[in-house]
A and B are shown apart, each in its own frame.
Chain A
C-alpha cells in the first residue's frame, strides 16, 4: 500500500524555522518526485514546490512566494523527503501535505497524499 506520512509540524513564532518530514512506503521512493501542497484553514490548495528523483538530479522548484525561504531535500536511504521552512510568516500557517506526482512530468498528477500536518505561525 502506498503511504505518505508527514511529521514535524507545530507552533512556531514569526521569523522562526520548522522542518517537516514525509516518510514514504509501499512504492519506489527513490524513483519518485515528491511535491508539497499546503492548505490554509478554510482555503484552497496551494502548490509549495517539488523535489525530483536522483535520475533527475534531485531538481527542486518552488512557488514564487516561498522561494528563498523554503528548501526541499530527500534521503532516499530513509525513504523520506523534507521541507525546511525558514523566515516563517503568519501567512504560512496551513496544513502541509506531501504528495507523489505520477508520472514525474509537467503533465503528471498527484496520486498519493499524506494525511497532512498542521503548521501554525503565531506569537
Chain B
C-alpha cells in the first residue's frame, strides 16, 4: 500500500487528454511538500517529468503539465502520442515517515 495513491491505469486515444491523480495526506502533499512526477518507459530507468508541482525540465514537451491542490496533485497529458505509453509515478516527502514517498504508479495505455 503506497503512501500516495494513484489510479493503476488510465487510457486514451491519440490526440486526447488524460489526467493522472496523486492523492496524499496531511503529512505529505497536504503539508505543502512539493510533488514531482516521473515517466518510466518499459525496461528503462525513471525520468524526471515534472518537478516542484508544475515545472518541466528542459526537453520535456509542454504537452505535460502538473498541478497541485490541497493534499492532491495531478499530471495532465494533452495531445496523446503512442510514445507516451509508459508508467507514471508521483513522488513527495512524508514528514511522519521522514522519508521520500512514491505513488504506486499509473500505467498509461494509448489506444
Task: Please report A residues at the B interface, Cβ cutoff 8 Å.
Answer: 35, 37, 44-47, 50, 61, 63-64, 97, 106-107, 109-111, 113-116
Contact = CB atoms under 8 A, between A and B. Distances in A.
Given A35-B100, A44-B102, A109-B51, 18 more contacts: A44-B103, A45-B89, A45-B105, A47-B102, A61-B98, A64-B97, A97-B45, A106-B33, A106-B93, A106-B95, A107-B93, A109-B48, A109-B52, A109-B91, A111-B48, A111-B51, A113-B45, A113-B47
B52 A97 contact: no
Interface of B: 2, 33-34, 36, 38, 40, 45-48, 51-52, 57, 87, 89, 91, 93, 95, 97-105
A97 to B, nearest CB: 6
A45 B88 CA distance: 10
Given A61-B98, A107-B33, A111-B57, A44 B89 contact: yes
A115 B95 CA distance: 29
Contacts of A107: 33-34, 52, 93
A109 B33 CA distance: 11
10 contacts: A44-B105, A45-B40, A97-B46, A107-B33, A109-B48, A111-B48, A113-B45, A113-B47, A114-B45, A116-B45
A64 B94 CA distance: 13
Given A44-B89, A106-B93, A107-B33, A113 B104 contact: no
A61 B2 CA distance: 19
A45 B33 contact: no
A112 to B, nearest CB: 8
